[in-house]
């Protein structure tokens, strides 16, 4: 019974995502981390930076960007973040990783500048 409720809740969530999905358009260029954005983050513990596309793993990028799913621990932690905002997430070994969003721009704009 609990399993059925979880399954129905998950189906409703997926249905909501699909209903609001915009295919073939970049998200707004508002600097907020969301699917379709190229994010640059700084891992606070090591002070290293990484740039990646927040999107579907089956997306391929012409510029060899790493792709992280919005459902990954990092993707969930960054959802809705604005530049300068620090977020934290737990990795499989239980450690907490702190990351700061440096920049977020639509993939289409990023691709046109670098490509």
Domain boundaries, the chain: 27-114
* DSSP label of 77: H
The whole-model pTM stands at: 0.70
Mapping DSSP to helix (H, G, I), strand (E, B) and coil, where does residue 12 land?
A: helix
Residue 22 has pLDDT above 60, yes or no: no
Q: What's the average model confidence in pLDDT over 52-62?
A: 73
The arrangement of secondary structure in 27-114, i.e. its CATH architecture, is Roll (3.10)
Would you state the pLDDT for residue 14? Answer: 78
pLDDT in tens, 65-84: 899 999 999 999 999 999 99
Could you tell me the pLDDT band of residue 29, with boundaries at 50, 70 and 90? confident
Q: What mean pLDDT, rounded, does the chain reach?
A: 83
φ, ψ of residue 50 in degrees (nearest 5): -145, 145
- Least confident among 22-26, 34-38, 77-81, 102-106: 22-26
φ, ψ of residue 72 in degrees (nearest 5): -70, 160
Identify the helix (H) or strand (E) that includes residue 65: none
């Amino acid at each position: 019974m609990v399993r059925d409720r979880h399954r129905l809740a998950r189906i409703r969530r997926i249905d909501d995502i699909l209903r609001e999905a915009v295919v073939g358009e970049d998200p707004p260029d508002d600097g907020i981390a969301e699917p379709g954005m190229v994010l640059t983050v700084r891992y606070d513990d090591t002070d290293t930076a990484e740039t990646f596309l927040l999107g579907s793993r089956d997306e391929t990028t012409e510029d060899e960007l790493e792709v992280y799913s919005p459902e990954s621990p990092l993707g969930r932690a960054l959802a809705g973040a604005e530049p300068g905002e620090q977020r934290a997430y737990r990795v499989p070994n239980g450690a907490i990783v702190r990351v700061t969003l440096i920049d977020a721009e639509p993939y289409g704009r990023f691709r046109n500048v670098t490509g």
